[in-house]
Structure 1
Amino acid sequence: MDRPDLNKEMSSSEFQSFYYLKEELTAFCRENGLPVSGGKTEIAERIAYFLDTGRVLNNSRAKKKAPVVGVISENTKIEPDFVCSEKHRAFFKERIGKSFSFYVAFQKWLKGSAGKTYGDAIEAYYEILEEKKKGKTVIDKQFEYNTYIRDFFAANSKKSLDEAIKCWKYKKGLPGHNRYEEADLKALE
């Protein structure tokens, strides 16, 4: 079965049975007057609602105004509604080194740690790096491709990335979930 093009005639259950790129989702939104802001999951929910009701689901989140950040030191408290900025990046690169990166896990820690200090953040960064070295990190739901490729190689360490991608393309064209299964190797035959 070929994956259907995303269109307003399909049902939300049919839409949710297939994998679509974020670019396809935002193009659909633009064509149908839906907001394109937010992450892939939020946009997909908006489209499903539209397909069910024919109505536009308003953005549930109001735009947050980025807090004004003064001088940052290790004793400075992390502000509510933390936003990763160049000022923050410069601070962490100065304290941690050029290898610093706003890893997803670290961003989540920062956003959930208002009131703690930037010194605490540096300690948390190193703890997160250690956890990352120890094992399998959690990949967020919207990164289905990354999860699929990681799981493919966990089961098929001798296969190539080209083979993994070929299986991914086969899988995303099928209805249902997009998790790796041994049956996906059918695409290599």
Structure 2
Amino acid sequence: MVRPEFESIRDYDEFCKYYWYREELVGICKAHGLKCSGSKIELNTVIKAYFSGEKILPEKKKVRQRGTAVKDLTLQTGLIECGFTFGNRFRDFFSEQTGVKPFKFNVDMVETVKVVKATEDENFTLGDLLDIYYGGDEATKVYSGRLKAAAALWKIVRESDLKKEYSHELLEEYKDIIDIK
């Protein structure tokens, strides 16, 4: 299936049938004068609104207040309280906690942070986010190369018109194809 140019796509449902890299989404948003910052999920939300006739415009930069960020991070530090970002400061913190170098935030962590920030949940801590990191589908533990299995599953999903998100049912459906143990 060959992906058409964005301009020839009629609606959001058709748009969702194809895989788009974040850089492509940013380019689409810039070309249409839309908000072009944020995660892929946020950019998709902007494009969905665009197809509905709503324009989400770029935000004006906010002036950060000095001295409000927490200096010492602990597992009890609130995500909102410390001004969490996916930058090196927090990557280093999670690397220290997990022993994983270089540390990479997973999709579940990114989605959780988005929800926590949107709901302004001041009770959610860095420890809670670490729990998200260690969570996941127990069924994937049978794969010694979990990342290779995930990559093989993603390749199947990326090249199809399936919904572009993980589910346990998806793993079950394609487990024979991704048989990397």
> What TM-score, normalized to structure 1?
0.53
Q: Which residue of 1 aligns with 2:21?
A: 21
Unaligned runs of 5+ in 1: 115-120, 138-149
Matched-pair contact (CA < 8 Å) for 1:30–1:36: yes
**What CA deviation, in whole Å up to 9, does each residue of 1:10-37 have, x standing for no partner?**
1211112333221221122233333312
Once the 2 structures are TM-superposed, how far is the Cα of residue 47 of structure 1 from its aligned partner?
Answer: 1.4
Q: Which residue of 1 aligns with 2:174?
A: 184
Paired residues, number: 152
Q: Which residue of 2 aligns with 1:58?
A: 57
Indicate yes or no: 2:171 matched with 1:172.
Answer: no
Q: Which residue of 1 aligns with 2:140?
A: 153
Aligned partners of 1:72 and 1:82: how far apart in 2?
Answer: 5
**Does the C-alpha gap of structure 1 residues 82 and 48 become closer, same or farther in structure 2, counting only changes over 3 Å?**
same
Aligned partners of 1:5 and 1:51: how far apart in 2?
Answer: 16
**Does the C-alpha gap of structure 1 residues 35 and 168 become closer, same or farther in structure 2, counting only changes over 3 Å?**
same
Q: Which residue of 2 aligns with 1:147?
A: none
Q: Which residue of 2 aligns with 1:67?
A: 65
Amino acid in structure 2 at the alignment position of 1:181: L
Matches within 5 A, 1:63-142: 63-69=61-67, 83-84=83-84, 89=89, 99=96, 108=116, 112-113=121-122, 125=126, 129=130, 131=131, 136=135
Q: Which residue of 2 aligns with 1:7?
A: 6
Q: Which residue of 2 aligns with 1:48?
A: 48
Unaligned runs of 5+ in 2: 73-77
Aligned partners of 2:135 and 2:32: how far apart in 1?
Answer: 40
Secondary structure (helix, strand or coil) at the match of 1:170 reads helix
Sequence identity, in percent? 16
Amino acid in structure 1 at the alignment position of 2:160: L
Indicate yes or no: 2:39 matched with 1:39.
Answer: yes
Q: Which residue of 1 aligns with 2:75?
A: none
Aligned partners of 2:35 and 2:15: how far apart in 1?
Answer: 18
Matched-pair contact (CA < 8 Å) for 1:3–1:174: no
RMSD: 4.7
Aligned partners of 1:106 and 1:30: how far apart in 2?
Answer: 25
Amino acid in structure 1 at the alignment position of 2:12: S
Aligned partners of 1:161 and 1:71: how far apart in 2?
Answer: 34
> What TM-score, normalized to structure 2?
0.54
Secondary structure (helix, strand or coil) at the match of 1:99 reads helix
